[in-house]
Structures are given as C-alpha cells and as structure tokens.
Structure 1
Amino acid sequence: MGLLVVVGVVSCYVRVPSEHLDIVWAEDGEIFLRQHLDDGFWSTLFRGYAGYQHFVPRLAAAVAVPSTPLWAYPLAVFAICALLTGLAGAAVYWLSRDIVPWIPARIALGLITFVLPLAMQEVIGNLADLHSYAMWLAPWLLLSRPRRWWSATLWGVVAFAVFMTEVQAVLFLLLLPFVVRRSQPRTLPIAVGAVIGSIWQIVTVITVERGSNSEWFGIPSLLGGYLVNTVMPLLFVAPDSVRARLEQSGLIIPTVILLLFVIAFVVAMMWGSGRQRLLAIALAAASFAIYAGGVTIDGSAGFHYADDAMPIWERAVNIRYGVSSGMLLAALVPLAAAIVHARAARVPRAAVALRSVAWLAVSGLILTMSVASTRAISTRGWVEATWSYSVQTQRASCLDGHPDERRRLPIAPLREISLSCAQLRQ
C-alpha cells in the first residue's frame, strides 16, 4: 500500500508541468481560499457551495492556508492533493481485497487512479476537482468487509468524508441493501458514515441555492457524449486528435473501445460471484449515470452530440465529467481479469490460457492508459500571471494602502479573486 501511495504522489508531479504548479485553479482560489481567509475555519467547513458540500477540499484549504506562506498556496494545495490521490489509489487496492482477490488485478485498480489519461487535463492536483476521486472511492468503501471494528470505524469516517465531498456518490447508497448483513456487522460503520454524509448533502441541495443552466439533452446526446468524454479518452486524449478522429469516423472508434469493456462486463456476469456481479453492475451503471448527471446539470450547448448540424469543433470533448466515469468503466477489466484468473483453478485444461488472458488484460489496460497519458495536456495555463508573482506584486502595492483595501489576483481559468491588503500581508 505504501508503495502505491508513493507511485500516486510521484505520478501527479510527473504529469503536471512544473510551471502550472504556481497557478491557483478555479474554486481553489475564489471559494476555498477566499472564504477561509474572509470567514475562518468553522464558518466555512460545512458551508454549501453550488448546491452541495465540499468537505475534504475545505478541510485541505484549512490545512494549506496557515501552514504555508500565501505565495506558496498552490504548491501546498498540489502537495495535499497529490498525497490524497495516492491514498485513494492505495485505499482502492486495500478495500477491493475480498471482491477482487487476485493481487495483480487489485494493483491495476489502484493504478487506474493515477494513470487515467483524461485526469491530467484539469483534475490532478487541485481541490476543485478532488471530488472525482471521492466518487471513485465510494463503491469500494461500501462493498468492503473490514476485519476489525477499529478499521471499520476508520473507514466509516472516510466514508463520511467521501460522501460529504461528492454529491453524486449518493447513487451508491443503492448498494446498501445488498451489503449490510447481520453476518457482516462491521460493514455498519461504513454504511452509517455514508448515510450521514448523503443526508447532509441532500439537505444542502434543498437549502442552498445553485445557479444552474441545467438542460436535458436526450438519451442520444448523452450516449454520444459518454462515448466521446468517457470512453474515447481512455486511449485518445489530445483534444485535436479526438476531434480529428470524430470528424473522420464519427463514433466508430469509441464504440469499438467500449465493446472491450462490454466483454469484461459479460465475463463478470457469467462467471463472477454474486458480489462480483453486483460490483460489475454498479460500475457500469454508475459510469454512465455520473457522466449523464454532470453534463445535465452543467447544461452547456457543446453537449448536444446528437445535433448533426453542430460542427465537430463546437462540441465539447475531454470534459472532466469523464474522469470518475472513466475510472469506474476501466475497473471492469481488472474485475473480469480476477474472475478469469480464479476460473483457471476450476478448469485445468484451459488454466494456462485463462491465466494468460487475465495477465494480458490487466497489463494491457495499464500500459495502454499510461501511454495515452503521455499525449495528454494540462489546461491550467489559462491565467495572466503566476500566483507567487501576483501575490508579491500586489503585496508591494499594499505597502502604503489601508488594510481593508482589496487587490485582484488572477487565477485559472481566466478568473480572478479579491483579497484585502491585510490578508496579503499575512
């Protein structure tokens, strides 16, 4: 597990350009940093934003702000997010030990957390998109079977944090009737943590106003968008490359890619245990539902994939809603590989072939995604100036200014936040 954490942290640093580590991204600045500086820790920790809770990002900001100089805030945020990403991958490896017992398959599940190509574009290393990893962790938490009460309690706290960070994780509560059993009492703390976090999220959705342009795009557009933003980036992630392939062959390429995961799903349903089938259904259904929910709430015009009159270059590609969706879809392959590997012991005549297929599946998935990641790009550079330069410049302008005077600092993507001179002098 420790090695997976290290791999996760290192992969985050390797995948993001060094110059982008000095840039504050979106809500990391205008919500988590500014509100913490303006209103303090306890006033903001459970404050809803955009209609739901952001528990872990707010907690992380509360750690980053007092522990580092203001000019180093994006570096502190990146370090925290890299560590949490590594811990998420290690947690998936650990939590899956009962339902995916083959160790190479579990390692592949952990590595999916780090090598998903699309994550590099926007999601890695910032608090605003940390909820993608919370969504990825949710089903593994609910389907795990802790051995000790102390570990069950610890995972229950993690479940609370996860469900208080990603509102769509509420979907996984549908698993509870299948996993909470008298014969498995140690699953109860995890279930309780998930339920409390979910109830809190639902109350926030009801009581906190969210400005939204949500739109129902219809099943054809949602299916097309799923192929473009979840399936296609598993192999082809450079935006220009994606658009070129879509213009040449439409949705043929992502459809062929999807067929590989359909085969993995069929294998799980045919040969898997009851819990493995439940996991396969949860992964497949949630992968599409999460993507569909995200774009429906977003409502951007570029999601009309079924509109033949819309040019390819006007359609959204490589959207962040495909990140957690893509991880859940990719997990079908290690699950199926573990099932095939276990079947080898029951079919001696085909044992060598089955084990070879299992090894080929997990190694091929991780290798393919790793290679695709080398062609991914980071879009964090959409900013007028680096954060450290802006802080130093505006701090100098405050030398003769009143403490309550405010200065504007640019953040990505093409936004800005306002901080007081008193805050800049801290």
Structure 2
Amino acid sequence: MTRTTASVVRPAPGASRLPDWTRRDWVWVVVVFLVVTVWTWFRIPLPDHDVVWAEDGVIFLKEQIERGTLATLLHPYAGYQHFLPRVFSAAVVEWVPLESYNRAVFTVCVVFAGLTAAATYRLTRGIIRWIPGRVLMSLVPVAVPLLSLEIIGNFADLHTYCLWLAAWVALSKPASKIEGVLWGVVALIACLTEVQALLVVPLVVVRLFWDRSIPVLAIAAGTLIGVGTQMFSWLTTPRPIKEGVEIGIPDVVVGWLVNAVLPIWNGHRETNSILLAEYGWKILALAVLPFVLATLAALVFDKGYQRFALCGLLFISAASFGGSLLVNPHESFQYARFVGPEWFLVPIDLRYGAAAALFVLAALPFAASSLVMRFSPRFPVLSRTVVLVLSTVVLGYIAIQGPEVASAKTMAKPWSAQVAAAVVACEAAPESSYTFESAPGIRYFDLSCSDVLERATLRP
C-alpha cells in the first residue's frame, strides 16, 4: 500500500530532474524583466530614441511645465485619465534637464515594459500551469510586431500595457492577502490610465460570484474605482466623436483580422496589402487559423478556470479593437467594404491593433501549457520538448517581424536639436516663446523662453 501511494505522488519524469531554482518565481521574474527590458530597448532604432512623440510633448510635457503636478495628475485629456503618463512626466520634467526629456521618457517606458512582463509572469501563477508557458506569456508584451509602430518608448501609449496588466490582475490568483492588496493597487493605477479597462469589469464581476476572498475583493475595488473615475471623466469631459460615419460589426471583425491578427505573422505593410488585394478573406482565414486551433486545444484539454481566462482575454481583444474604431470613426475604417486594389489605400497597421494582438497571441501559451499538462503524464519528456521547441520557433518567427514595422517616429525632428535651437533663439529673445514639434506636420506646441532657459542646461 505504501509503495502504491508513493508511486501516485511521485513527480513526473523530467520535472523531477529540474533543479529547485528553476521552479522559484523570483528567478524567472528577474530573468523575464532583464530579457524584455533589453529586447524592448533594441526594438526601436537608436535615432528614434531622440524623439519626443505626440502627447509626450504637446500634452504631458507642456501641461506639466505650465500647470504643475497637482493640477495635471488627474486632469483628463481626450475624454479620459492618463495617470501613469502624468506621474512619469512629472518626475522626468522636474528632475531631468529639458534636453534629456526624450531619453528619460524612452528609458522609463522600456523599464515599464520589462516590469509589465515580469508582472505577467507572476500574475499567470496558478493559471498557466507550465513554467515555460508562463515565460512565453511574459514575452507577449514585447513580441507583437505592431508594437514597433509607436507603442514602445513613449508615455502616450503606455495605456496599451495597462490594459494588458488590468486584465491579468483581474484574472490572477494572489498567494496572500497582502499580494492581493498590492495587485489591487496595480489594478487601480492601470484603470486610471486606460479607459478601455472598462472591459475588465465583466471578468471581475463574474469572479466575485464564486470567489469573494480579500485578495479578489481588493482587486475588484481597485478595478471599479479606477474604471469609475474614467467613466466620470468621460461623462464630464467627453471625447469628441466624428458623426456621420457608420462602423458596423462586419467592419470591426474584418478590421480586427486585418490589423490585429494578420500583422502578427507579417509585419510588412506593403506585403499585407498585396496579400489582401489578391486573396481577400482567404488570407485572413489562414492568418487566424493557428489561433483558432490554439484556442480549441486550450478549451478541450485545459480546466474550467483556464477556459474562462482565455475566453476573457479574447473578448478584450475583440472589444478593445471594436471600441477604438467606434470612438474614432473614419471612412477608411469601413473594412468590410474593401475589395481588391482598394486595400492599397486603407490603413492596415493601425496602432489599435497592437493592443488587440497582445490578447490574441496569448492563446498560444495557453495552448502550449494545456497540451503539456494533458500529455506529460504519459510522454513527459517528449511532450515538453516538442511543445517547447514548437512554441519557441513560432514566437521567434513572430518576434523577427518587429523590425518590418517602421517606427512612426522616424520622420520626427530630433529632440536634442530642437532644444539646442530653442536655447539659441531664447537667448536672443528671452521674452518670446519657441515652437516645438512632437509629430511631423501634426502636433506642435509652444514653451515660453523663460521655461526653456530655466529647464535646459545647454548653452551656446
């Protein structure tokens, strides 16, 4: 009887050969943080580090200088709160010389991407049950090719990672009450930064039906307070929405396939336009097929909570992309109407697709983990080896598509040169102001020469 019991609880072959340190969360948290931080740094060409992009200049820098921290921290812009960018810009503006603002922003954003990945590893504890699967999931926030467009390296798009964090916090299984409270704080900050965290609320509410422990209640409280604040901002300072353009469900579905799914496999915009013009829906069906198979594998072979988590993430993918189109309607977003050569004339690399792609790509680590858990009792070494090699090859192939996505910042004027020119101009006319560029031909903002001279250390 004793021998039989021992055979039941003996670890699976292969797993027992692993050193103890490989199963310690803190080791993988540190490894993931370092890998993703370095990887993210090199995703963007070095010259593009010397750029202040979009809202980083015209909103966060300018308002921080002119209004101060307390007046801007919860000041809404475009209908919602941007808490983390406000906090980070306050720290950078007040502690870093004006000419170094760009590189400080880039560095902070790269480190935040690493922290997001490290947090993902911890948050998947108890959900993704295979350690390599958790590592693969942690790499998703930097592997999506479309992130290179303009997501990485600027405060304006940190909300993309905050939506990812908010979703995983809502699904997480904290190991203690203290950890639950800490993740509740993270949920609050993430929801105060991303208005589409509203989509996480259904996941939180459903969880409360069967789990009302203190950790889950803390996470629910953080989520609901953050989302509630966003909704208040939306109602009191609504985002202007263009009227007269109808975006239907078919447009959302086709647009999601075109902008979120297809670029995962091919980051080259022109090639995708050719494929769409020649093959239309057939190429989209081929692009989505691996994710359909991965989802089916996870739903068939995994457990109930894992199924719930994956379905929740896929819901957020579709709904976040659809919501982005609905609040930013444009004739070029009526994707269901385009055929043939018309695909050369419409956007098929929208940055909205990057966030949606994160949650689509999450299906692959789920499938990998579920397959290993299903087949490792009978084929422990074979199942782990095959799934790990296949997953690594697929994720590696997806990752090398990143350089194919041109950074939107490439044509922007170098920030260091702008500040140097501003100092020269302001020395000559200290009572005037200087116009800076934060997106070519689109976004410009003025800073008074007194502020420029006070905050810049450059001198002619």
TM-score normalised by the chain length of structure 2 = 0.88
Contact 2:136 2:365 in 1 (8 A): yes
Spell out the pairing of 1:22-421 with structure 2 (5 A cutoff).
Answer: 22-180=50-208, 181=210, 184-213=213-242, 215-308=245-338, 311-346=342-377, 348=378, 354-383=383-412, 385-403=413-431, 405-414=432-441, 415-421=443-449
Provide closer, same or farther for how the CA distance between residues 211 and 184 of structure 1 changes in structure 2, counting only shifts above 3 A. same
1:12 match: secondary structure: helix
For residues 82 and 204 of structure 2, what CA distance do their matches in structure 1 show? 23
- CA offsets, 1:144-198, max 9 Å, x none? 1212222222211111010111111111110123323556332221111111101
Structure 1 residue 365, shift from structure 2 partner: 2.9
How much does 1:354 deviate?
4.3
SS across alignment from 1:118? helix
Matched position secondary structure for 2:172? coil
Runs in 1 of length 4+ with deviation above 3 angstroms?
180-184, 350-357
1:4 deviation in Å?
1.4
Map Cα deviations across residues 207-257 of structure 1 (whole Å, 9 max, x no partner): 013222264421222111111100011011122121122122123223212
The one-letter amino acid of 2:227's match is S
Instruction: Please give the per-residue CA displacement for 1:333-383, whole angstroms capped at 9, x wherever unaligned.
Output: 10111111111245x2x6566445532442133112122123222120232
Letter in 1 for 2:149: Q
Amino acid at match of 1:149: K
Relative to structure 1, the CA distance from residue 413 to residue 273 in structure 2 (aligned partners, 3 Å threshold; closer, same or farther) is farther
Write out per-residue CA displacement over residues 403-426 of structure 1, whole angstroms, 9 at most, x where no aligned residue: 4x2210112243211100111012
**Secondary structure class of the residue paired with 1:407:** strand
What is the alpha-carbon distance in structure 2 between the residues aligned to residue 13 and residue 96 of structure 1?
Answer: 24
- CA deviations on 1:53-96 (whole Å, 9 max, x unpaired) are 10011111011111211011110100000010110011111100
Amino acid at match of 1:81: C
**Most deviating of 242-251 and 289-298:** 242-251
Residues 303-341 of structure 1: per-residue CA shift (max 9 Å, x gap): 121224782222111111111110100001101111111
Any conservation in 2 of the 1:227–1:251 contact (CA below 8 Å)? no
Q: In structure 2, list runs of 5 or more residues that go unmatched.
A: 1-28, 456-460
Deviation at 1:398, TM superposition (A): 1.2
Tell me the SS of whatever aligns to 1:317.
coil
Query: Which deviates more, 309-318 or 408-417?
Result: 309-318
The 10-residue stretch of structure 1 (408-417 or 20-29) with the greater mean CA deviation from structure 2: 408-417
- Higher Cα Rg, which structure: 2
Inter-partner Cα distance in structure 1 for 2:294 and 2:420: 53
In the aligned structure 1, how far is the partner of 2:375 from the partner of 2:204?
A: 31
Mapped partners of 1:361, 1:93: distance in 2? 20
The aligned residue for residue 23 of structure 2 is: none
SS at match of 1:419: strand
Between Structure 1 and Structure 2, how many residues are aligned? Answer: 422
What RMSD, in angstroms, separates the aligned Cα atoms of the two structures? Answer: 1.7
Hey, what's the Cα distance between the residues in 2 that align with 1:263 and 1:357?
A: 17
Task: Choose 234-243 or 40-49, whichever is displaced more.
Answer: 234-243
Give the secondary-structure state (helix, strand or coil) at the position aligned to 1:101.
Answer: coil
Contact 1:381 1:412 (C-alpha < 8 Å) held by counterparts: no
Cα offset, 1:300, TM superposition: 2.2
Q: What TM-score, normalized to structure 1?
A: 0.95
1:10 aligns with 2:38: yes
Deviations along 1:270-299, one digit per CA (max 9) or x if unpaired, are: 222111111121122111111111122111
